[in-house]
Structure 1
Amino acid sequence: MSKKELKEMSFLEHLEELRKILIRATLAIIIMATVVFFVSDFIFDSVIFGPTRTSFVTYRFFCDLSHYVGFKDSICVESLPFIIQNTDMEGQVNILVWICLVAGFILSFPYILWLLWGFISPALYEKERKNAALFIFVASILFFLGVLFGYFVVIPMSVNFFATFKVSDIVQNHFTLDSYIGMVKTSLIASGLFFELPIIIYFLTKLGLVTPAFLRKYWKYAVVIILIVAAIVTPPDVVSQLIVAIPMLIIYEASIYISVLVHKKQLKENG
């Protein structure tokens, strides 16, 4: 479809194209969710509930790091004093469905990107349309890196923090299955989408909605927000907070650098 054809399409025709994309994306998610369903025992026992065990790789890494920097056992996770319980009759069924759908979305993300690219590519120049494979590859890698960051960093940090936080020794932590799964879903999807920030900034800069000057101006606010988030989801020690904050700061800096490149190219093309 050429730019001319795109411009000649009516609003309803655009909606029809978008509807087709949503249907295809939904089918892809359902198909992948069905695949996940057949390995759901492994997904729940080894993946979803992995961070609830002190033997989880992240906790072992922190313990080894604690010994390496001379902190002894100060940041070792020796116990996670909580239990997860289901309080709703249909709770476990709902959780199974949601986890399959979330996993289906994550696994089908490259295909969803390909569908979205097909929707917006007619509005791009021929040279930009040729970069479809690169765009989908880079965006997919960033998303999967974000999901891994959420799983191996954000989730175990959050579990450790909330499991050990107490207002009184009288109160015991009995987390509901729904609240735990909600935290897992939010951490995975939010981290994956946050790592898409460079791609988002690329398009926003091309559209003129964001400039490098704008991103630099609010850099200090972004740093404060990132540090606050890191402090919330980590134990009260500097090492843990830096491990969470540094990758997020790198992503933000990378976004600024991409915005600079796009802005310079636009200025050059405009003469």
Structure 2
Amino acid sequence: MSGRLKAKEGDLIVEKQEEMSIVEHLGELRKRIIYVLVVLVLGLVVGLVCANPIYQYLISVDSAKDFELHAFSFWDGIGMYMKIAMIVSLVATIPFTAYQLWAFVSPGLREVERKAALRYVPYVFLLFLAGLAFGYYVVFPMALGFTTQVTESMGLKETYGISQYFSFLFTLVVPVALLFELPIIVMFLTKLRILNPLRLRKMRKVAYFALVFIAIVITPPDFISDFLVTIPLLVLYEFSVFLSSVVYRKQLAADAAVEARYRFPAEPQ
């Protein structure tokens, strides 16, 4: 009888430990989310301070010089400032979010995996900036030129509001910048053994279709623009597969080394 009671008490202790572990994980996740929200708000404040210089630069480049922008409501000006502030906040928040994600999952990783995953964080920032540059200097001028040609061919006079102009700009540029994070995401998931190059190669047809669809959606409906945006996206995917292969080969080599270390020597015949 006492043995049964002890067994039940042991089961209750294990259940309580598991519940405490789940509660602790949820508390840790909530803390990380609060950190990200704080940085997001601080980024918005910094973005509002920097909004006017950024706005002056954006309207001084060649793509905006041909347009006389107007305000069609009292909120257009502050709305445009808020959009610029949000982009600035994203630039700061995305790498910080990547670090918080690493900090949340790192206790479950080995020391080598923690150090390797931490190296990805600066590249999150760099790839996002590269995506912004590609979207602004390549995708946006193509889209703007195409829409302007269509408007002129219809004999319409171009009168644009500042809100419409910047909404058009950010709708094109931000998705492209986020897509440039694909290699880092794939490497990180491969490091966690969620993805591997074999699975990515099997998904190639579906991934290609999705990327082509995205390229067609965010670019003007002409073949040249679609082609110029689709090719970099497909190259990004193949580059992601290559990086996944590098990480996967290192994992296999590490696993083989561990197995060889703990393998018992064969008994003599």
TM-score under structure 2 normalisation? 0.72
Residues 33, 104 of structure 1: 8 Å contact kept: yes
Give the letter for the 2:243 counterpart: I
Which residue does 2:246 correspond to in 1?
Answer: 261
Deviations 1:4-38 (A, max 9, x none): xxx88533332322222222222223323323323
Residues 45, 85 of structure 2: 8 Å contact kept: yes
Aligned partners of 2:23 and 2:168: how far apart in 1? 38
Aligned partners of 2:165 and 2:199: how far apart in 1? 37
Give the letter for the 1:125 counterpart: R
Deviations 1:125-172 (A, max 9, x none): 111112354221222222221122122122222222222224962444
Which residue does 2:173 correspond to in 1?
Answer: 188
Which residue does 2:184 correspond to in 1?
Answer: 199
Which residue does 2:61 correspond to in 1?
Answer: 50
Give the letter for the 1:117 counterpart: W
Aligned partners of 1:172 and 1:229: how far apart in 2? 30
- Given the alignment of the two structures, is residue 147 of structure 1 paired with residue 158 of structure 2, yes or no? no
Residues 95, 178 of structure 1: 8 Å contact kept: yes
Q: Which residue of 90, 101, 115 maps to 1:116?
A: 101
Which residue does 1:23 correspond to in 2?
Answer: 34
Which residue does 2:120 correspond to in 1?
Answer: 135
Report how far residue 228 of structure 1 moved.
5.3
Distance 1:163 1:20, change over 3 A: farther
- Given the alignment of the two structures, is residue 125 of structure 1 paired with residue 80 of structure 2, yes or no? no
Deviations 1:12-68 (A, max 9, x none): 3323222222222222233233233233222112136736336xxxxxxxxxxxxxx
Aligned partners of 2:96 and 2:194: how far apart in 1? 27
Which residue does 1:72 correspond to in 2?
Answer: none
Greater helix fraction, Structure 1 or Structure 2: 2
Report how far residue 105 of structure 1 moved.
1.9
TM-score under structure 1 normalisation? 0.72
SS at match of 1:38: helix
Q: Which residue of 134, 141, 159 maps to 2:144?
A: 159
Give the letter for the 2:237 counterpart: Y
Larger radius of gyration: 2
> In angstroms, what is the RMSD of aligned CA positions?
3.3
Give the letter for the 2:244 counterpart: S
Give the letter for the 1:184 counterpart: L
Aligned partners of 1:108 and 1:218: how far apart in 2? 30
- Number of equivalenced pairs: 239
Give the letter for the 2:21 counterpart: S
Flag the structure with more relative contact order, 1 or 2, with Cα contacts below 8 A and sequence separation at least 6: 1
- Identity among equivalent positions (%) equals 32
Q: What does 1:57-76 correspond to in 2, within 5 Å? A: none
Deviations 1:206-226 (A, max 9, x none): 455434233223434544554
Deviations 1:198-249 (A, max 9, x none): 12222333455434233223434544554555456258464x5554333222
- Given the alignment of the two structures, is residue 219 of structure 1 paired with residue 204 of structure 2, yes or no? yes
Which residue does 1:62 correspond to in 2?
Answer: none
Residues 135, 176 of structure 2: 8 Å contact kept: yes
Aligned partners of 1:8 and 1:131: how far apart in 2? 31
Distance 1:12 1:139, change over 3 A: same
SS at match of 2:74: coil
Report how far residue 184 of structure 1 moved.
2.8
Residues 113, 191 of structure 2: 8 Å contact kept: no
Aligned partners of 1:138 and 1:207: how far apart in 2? 18
Aligned partners of 1:124 and 1:35: how far apart in 2? 35
